[in-house]
Amino acid sequence: MPDNQQNKDIKELGATLLEIAMLLMVSGASTGRIRNTIDRVSTSFSYTANMFISQRTIMLSMYNEENECIFNSLKRTSQHGINFTTLSGISRMSWSILEEKWTVKKINEELNRLCALPHYPRIVTLLLTGLAGAAFCRLAGGALLDMTVVFAGTMAGLFVKQEATKLNFNPYLCVYLAALTSSLIAGSLVKFNPGTDHEFAFATSVLFLIPGVPLINAFSDMIDGNLQNGLIRGMNGFIISFSIALGLLTSMATYHF
Amino acid sequence: MDWLLLLEKGFWFGLAAVGFAILFNVPVRTLLSVFIMGALGGIIKNLLLQFEINVIIASFAGAVLIGFISISFAHNKHAPPPIFAIPAVIPMVPGIFAYRMMLGLISLAGNINQAAYSQVLSDTIHNGLKVMFILMSLATGVAIPMLITRKDSAKEIRFRKVKDNF
């Protein structure tokens, strides 16, 4: 029964393509990049893939050379979490698929390998993000004392964010809690050392939370003509910024300044 | 002009970029490139600021530089350009302006007398517009190399002189 076998292969390929698109979306790829990658992979199997890409759902239809629709399916995305290692791995893989004519089985194995790749150790992430916060503070004009406090505040804030994410809190609430922690720590400097101006420390302690990837992707989607996705991503970035501001506001109210 | 101060700023820009790169979980092989790009972009921005050029244009110039370097690093390190470019431009995000805009908005919403109102309003709009335009120029800046070469993938972009090296 060759027909059945072929149907099974097509279904497998379709599921794999959806998985690739979903992984790209949650790892922080722009819409154009997702479309290009899926086109590249489906071309290698000489099918045409048409997609509808949105933040939470991805829809894919595949057509064969006679322009018959052979696969049509939807996939919900998992929770978004920026991971550039996945992005780079999938990009390299898509070129190998095209050049070396990989089979679906090999693609799935590679996808599994990419998903299992470790993150940086938690302590490294915390320390370097803390250093980044201190660097921000220095750039804004802070002194050594400000930098130290921002370092501690950023580390504590990121720690709280990671723990809150683990506990499955709403993502915006995680950002709020992180901003609150960081600004409470940095704000103590303003409160208890009033002689000098510590505004920089207070303002830069929450900068590690800025939604850089959503905002930049929003803009690249917009100039690509994916206006709808661009607006949605921009809105997401805006709400994250709002949560940060709310966190700052809460600690300002706490300290009365 | 104080070159040492400029280099120091470059160092901090690079460090901030690496912090974000780690947060975004970039591959280890790209970390050094991210540091270099963040530092160079920041140095260009500060250099232009010292010549009293508007902060929006200075940020744009830094982002364009980062965009172009990201293409050549993408070839060398085999990773897509945004992986280098996004962490590298984030240190240029105008955090202080955004903070002041927020403070302004809050005081506008509170009890404020008429005389202070117009001053706070104009400051807030000034800071807010700066934030908006700097963010836009950062995003456009990193996209410029792809826009002017009219290619879908950085893999198709080759700078003529280095064509035969890889």
Cβ of A210 and B138 within 8 Å? no
pLDDT of A160: 96
User: Whose structure tokens read 């600004």?
Assistant: A183
SS (H, E, C) B63-122: HHHHHHHHHHHHHHHCCCHHHHHHHHHHHHCCHHHHHHHHHHHHHHHCCCCHHHHHHHHH
Q: How many residue pairs bridge chain A and chain B with CB atoms within 8 Å of each other?
A: 138
pLDDT of A184: 93
Contacts of B17 in chain A (CB under 8 A): 132
**Domain end marker among A61, A95, A115:** A115
Residue A109 has pLDDT above 60, yes or no: yes
Interface test with A, best of B18, B35, B96 (most A CBs within 10 A): B96
Residue A133 and residue A204 in contact, taking contact as beta carbons nearer than 8 Å: yes
Cβ of B9 and A92 within 8 Å? no
Residue A73 and residue A6 in contact, taking contact as beta carbons nearer than 8 Å: no
Cβ of A200 and B96 within 8 Å? yes
In terms of domains, do A246 and A172 share one?
yes
**Domain end marker among A84, A115, A146:** A115
Rounded CA separation B70/B64 (Å) = 10
Cβ of A216 and B26 within 8 Å? no
Give CA separation, A190 vs A140, A145, A198, A256, B107, in Å.
16, 11, 5, 11, 19
DSSP-derived 3-state class of residue A63 = strand
In terms of domains, do A111 and A135 share one?
no
User: Chain A: nearest CA to B38, how far in angstroms?
Assistant: 12
For range A222-227, the mean pLDDT: 89
- A220 and B CB contact within 8 Å: yes
In terms of domains, do A67 and A140 share one?
no
Q: How confident is the model at residue A61 (pLDDT cuts 50, 70, 90)?
A: very high
**Domain end marker among A74, A97, A115:** A115
In terms of domains, do A108 and A175 share one?
no
What residues make up the domain containing A146? 122-255
In terms of domains, do A131 and A99 share one?
no
Residue among B69, B54, B59 at smallest CA distance from B90 = B59
pLDDT of B166: 41
Cβ of B19 and A131 within 8 Å? yes
- B5 and A CB contact within 8 Å: no
Contacts of A241 in chain B (CB under 8 A): 98
- B53 and A CB contact within 8 Å: no
In terms of domains, do A148 and A228 share one?
yes
| Nearest-CB residue to B79 (from A28, A91, A213) | A91
pLDDT of B152: 67
DSSP-derived 3-state class of residue A168 = coil
The answer to whether residue B112 sits within a structural domain is: no
In terms of domains, do A91 and A141 share one?
no
The answer to whether residue B65 sits within a structural domain is: yes
In terms of domains, do A143 and A214 share one?
yes
pLDDT of A240: 93
Please count the structural domains in chain A: 2
What residues make up the domain containing B29? 3-93+140-165
In terms of domains, do A127 and A153 share one?
yes
Task: Please write the tens of the pLDDT for every residue from A135-150.
Answer: 999 988 888 888 999 9
Backbone angles phi, psi at B85, to 5 degrees: -70, -40
Which stretches within chain A are classed as H helix? Answer: 2-27, 31-44, 84-100, 104-116, 122-140, 144-166, 171-192, 199-204, 212-224, 227-255
pLDDT of B157: 65
B-facing residues of A in 176-215 (CB < 8 A) are: 200, 202-204, 207-208, 210, 212-213, 215
| Nearest-CB residue to A212 (from B18, B27, B86) | B86
pLDDT < 50 regions, chain B: 161-166
Please count the structural domains in chain B: 1
Cβ of B82 and A30 within 8 Å? yes
DSSP-derived 3-state class of residue A76 = strand
Residue A132 and residue B16 in contact, taking contact as beta carbons nearer than 8 Å: yes
The answer to whether residue B102 sits within a structural domain is: no
